[in-house]
Each structure stands twice: as C-alpha cells, then as structure tokens.
Structure 1
Amino acid sequence: MLNAPWFTVRKIDNKTYAISELGHWEKVHSFLLLGDEKAALVDTGLGIDNMKRITDQLTNLPIDVITTHVHSDHIGSHGKYERLFVHEAERDWLVNGIPGLSIEQIRKNTARDISIPAPPSFNPDTYKPFQGEPTGLLKDGDIIELGNRKLVVYHTPGHSPGHIVIFDKDAGYLFTGDLLYDETPIYAFYPTTNPIDLVNSLEKITRIPEINRIYSSHNTLGLDSAILREVKHAVNYLRMHDLVRFGTGTHHFNGFSIQF
C-alpha cells in the first residue's frame, strides 16, 4: 500500500496514475505517465504535501514534469523535481511569479476549506508557490517521447496565456488541465485570462482525433469523450450570442459551465 495520507492515488491503467488531493476544495489531480525510458508528471499539485514522496513509490524512471499552466495549485511540488517544462508564454511566471497576484491571496486560497488533516509540514502562513527556471520550454505541436509512449503538446491559452493540454496518442487520453472540467465553472474572468482565447482553445481540442477519455485537473476523474460534442455546441452558442467577453457571467452547458 502506498504511503499517501494526503494524496489519493488511483491507477488508470498499468502505465498511468492519477495523484489527487481530494481533501482540498479544488480537488486537484496530477497525473503520472510511465514510458519505457522515462515518465512524465503532468503538474505537481498544491504543494501542501510533497508529491515526490508518492512518485518515488510508483516508479524508478526519471521524471519530466510537464506544466499545464503556472497557477499555484499546479506547481506546488515543482521544487522537488529536477526537470521542469512549461510553455514559453509562462516561463516568466514560473521564474518571477504572476504579476498582480499577491502571496496573501494565494495563501488564503490554498489554506481554506481543507476537509482532511493537512500534513504537519504545511504552514499556510509561510507557504510560497514555486519559483525557478524551467529545464526547457514547450510550444504547440511539441512531441514528448517517453519510450513507446508519445505525448503531443497543444497550446490552449485562455485560462492562462501559456496553458497547454497533453494528448497521449497511444492511449487516447487527453489531459486538459484547467481548460475543461465538470462540476465547477471553468474560469476566464481574471485579468490574466482571455475569453476569446479560451473559446478558441475549446474548439481546438474538439478537432483532436481519436480521443478516448478526458482527464482534467479538477473534480471528476475521467470524462467521456462524448462531452466534446457539447463543447462544440457551447463554442457556437457563445459566439452566436456575443457572450465571449468579460462580464457576461456563468454559462451552463450539459456537463460543464464557463464563467467570463
């Protein structure tokens, strides 16, 4: 049994694990993808506990951390890993932090509504998001080779400027980060978001062929790819009704909602 009191580890298949933080209001998921030669870790969670303690129990392979975007709930354990990759548009955020987002607000968001005991090492008063230089920069269309497992990077801005999704071509898994998830609204109302880019990115993922399953970074673990039909409808509806702009509120569709 894994030693993982803060984390919930679930096996998606023999080479894919979800590492979830279900005792936090954001219900964050990170994903460990194993190849023959190395592994990819899609995001590193909140940083309330050390995720490397978990990945060390799951694999001895070298790990490349693939960052969907540089929000604090996705980079929490980045400092525990040696090889970090981020889209080129968010390299500056990873190094210097997000302009205009105070440490007080980040600490408040991280510490609130925790429903299980946090590890003793977590102190919300001294919590700081990771800052540091990435090992490499990603761009749209990049291929990440793990050894008999190929990942494709798609640049999908909107929720943030350098947001990416990762497509596992062999398994047909699409890891959507904060571009698409259920239960709570997809956010595109902060100053650093862009509603037009978000809708364009949603349309973009509907064009990726042979998606079998969608794994987002929050809420339900694993969505049926049929949701992409509703995404197409949402894109057309929002554009047709001139809703793709700040201040138009929350828009509900079958299986998800979007807040501008």
Structure 2
Amino acid sequence: MDNFYTDNMNIREIDGFTLQLVSKNVWAIDEFGIDIMYLIVGTKKALLFDTGIGIGNIKNVIKELTDLPLVIVNSHHHYDHSGGNYCFEKIYAHASAIPVIQQQNTPEFRKDFFLSQEARNEYNHRASLHSHITCINHSELIELKEEKIFDLGDRTLEVLFTPGHTKDCICLLDSKNELLFSGDTIVSTPTLLFDSFSDTAQNYLNSITKLLSYSNKYNLIFPGHYLRPIGKNYLKDMAICLKEILQDPDIGKPDSCNMALGPVYYHQYRLASILYTKDRCI
C-alpha cells in the first residue's frame, strides 16, 4: 500500500483541465466539472478510461503526462464519457455500447447534448462548449470481452461487466494496486436508474454483488463523477439500498430529474442512494 498518495492537494492544471495524482501513476482528469477521466500509466503502455464530453484538448493533456502508447476505453455509452472519442483512432467499449456510440456520432446529437450541458451546475465554463460542438470523427470501436486484461507493463487492468446505470457499464480492476475504476457504476451521488436508459435494479444488484465478491482485490474506488476516491464499504450500503427498493418500490420519496421519462423516486441507505423510476424495480 506504499503506492498511495495521501496529499489531496497534489493537483495541477493543464489547458484548463484539473488533474489530481490519486495513486502512483494514476491521474484523475476533471473535464471542466462535467466528468472525470483517468489516465493509468504503466511501464509499457498507458490507458485512458473514458474520453469525457470532448471539450478542450485532452490529447495535449495526455502528452504532458506520458509519451507511452495509449489505450482508450469507454466505461459506457453515455456521451459525457464517450464524446471525446473523436480525438482517438481506436476505442474499446462493451459490445452493447458500440451501436449506441455509433448512433450518437452525429453533429445533431452532439449539438443537442452540448447545449444541454450548459445548464449543469458542475460545469465551470473554463472551456467553451461551443468551440468543440462540431467535432466528429469515425473512430474504430473495438468490442470488449468480460475479464479482458489490459497489460500496461508493471500493472494489469481487468474488465468487469457491471450493468446497472446502463446496460453496457464496465469497471476496470487493478488488483495489484488495489484500485477499482468504476465509471458510473459507482458514484458518490445517487446512481441513476431510469426507464430504458438503465438496466433493472435487480441486474444492478447483481453487479454490486459481483463487485463485492472481488472486494479483497481493491480498497479504493475511483468514479466517473464528483468525489473520489470512494471506500469499498459503500458497496455494502448500495446492496442494501437496492434490496429495499426491490422489496418495496414505493419506499422512495418523489423527486425530479429532467433525464427521466416518468416519475422519479429517491431512496438512500446510509451512504448509498439511488434515483429511480419504478419500471426498473423488477
């Protein structure tokens, strides 16, 4: 465990992106408040987990940190995690994510999504959404298999399929360094389970149970948004939160979210919380 940095002020900026060294050779890259990408550097290769919405110049950021060959992986299809794919030639994604990413790769979708982001409270306006609104490129999308191993040299990353927030979510496990990179499978704010936007609560519970079965292989979880890292005990709270919703879908308090088609409900158990529509409670 001597590879962990305890100084949370270990922060720098490159081209407006805020970077924090969160473990040895692991950078959290905050894209103007909207999302967090992770650059994981080995001795032979580096891996970028997610490409963000695609504002600013993420390639310049990477070049400042490493000149190693770069592997790109999308955690799921949502555009705040795959909108920067245009910067790269090849991207790995789950098979279910690939057709959705391809469908989203249009000027119309990108424009509508970018305009929707301007109202986000998290967006710090230090880069212009409008200056990158027309960036489209036909990158090669490569199907990810369950338990695929990315060998970066002195560290490996294992792909874990974790449907829930979406039906194509994955996590990356660095068991040697006891780290889990969770995308939106685990975040420190409510997980969103909406309509056909998401998988069912039962399948999400199955994914949480799966991650708990690996819990002797990681101690810290690095999410795609908000506070990081998250302690692995959070998963136990999430499992109970899901079980309570499945037992009684009416347990949640009415809430709101403009991303959902139907009525939204909020339920919290200790640290974990979920925003859900009742059609997901099967």
TM-score bin, normalised by smaller chain: 0.7 to 0.9
Query: SS in structure 2 opposite 1:32?
Result: strand
Confirm whether residue 163 of structure 1 aligns to residue 173 of structure 2.
no
**Counterpart of 1:187?**
192
Distance (whole Å) between structure 2 residues aligned to residue 127 and residue 193 of structure 1: 28
Residue 20 (structure 1) aligns with? 30
- Which residue does 1:10 correspond to in 2? 20
Aligned mate of 1:177, from 183, 188, 202:
183
Map 1:201-220; keep pairs closer than 5 Å.
201-210=207-216, 211-220=218-227
With CA pairs under 8 Å and 6+ residues apart, which has the higher RCO, 1 or 2? Answer: 1
Deviation at 1:208, TM superposition (A): 1.2
Deviates more, 1:189-198 or 1:173-182: 189-198
Instruction: Select between 190-199 and 71-80 the one with higher mean Cα deviation.
Output: 190-199
1:253 has 2:258 as partner: no
TM-score (norm 2): 0.80
The aligned counterpart of 1:65 is 72
Residue 90 (structure 1) shift: 1.2
Aligned residues: 252
**Structure 2 SS opposite 1:147:** coil
The DSSP-based 3-state class of the residue aligned with 1:41 is: strand
- Runs (5+) with no aligned partner, structure 2: 1-10, 253-261, 277-282
Q: Identify the range of structure 1 (2-11 vs 56-65) with the bigger mean alpha-carbon deviation.
A: 2-11
Runs of 4+ in 1 over 3 A off after TM superposition: 101-105, 124-132, 242-248
Of the structure 1 ranges 5-14 and 89-98, higher mean CA displacement relative to structure 2 is found in 89-98
Any idea what SS the aligned residue of 1:167 has? strand
1:47-62 maps to which residues of 2 (within 5 A)? 47-62=54-69
Matched, 1:117 2:122: no
Q: CA deviation at 1:45?
A: 1.2
TM-score (norm 1): 0.86
Q: Is the 1:50–1:77 Cα contact (8 Å) retained in structure 2?
A: no
Distance across 2 between alignment mates of 1:212 and 1:124: 39
- AA aligned to 1:78 is N
Residue 229 of structure 2 is aligned with which of 222, 229, 252? 222
Q: Which blocks of at least 5 consecutive residues in structure 1 are unaligned?
A: none
1:199 Cα deviation from its structure 2 partner: 2.6
Describe the SS at the equivalent of 1:249. strand
Q: What is the root-mean-square deviation of aligned Cα atoms in Å?
A: 2.7
Quote how far apart the aligned CAs of 1:192 are. Answer: 2.7
Question: Match of 2:221, as an amino acid?
Answer: I
Aligned partner of 1:88 in structure 2 is 95
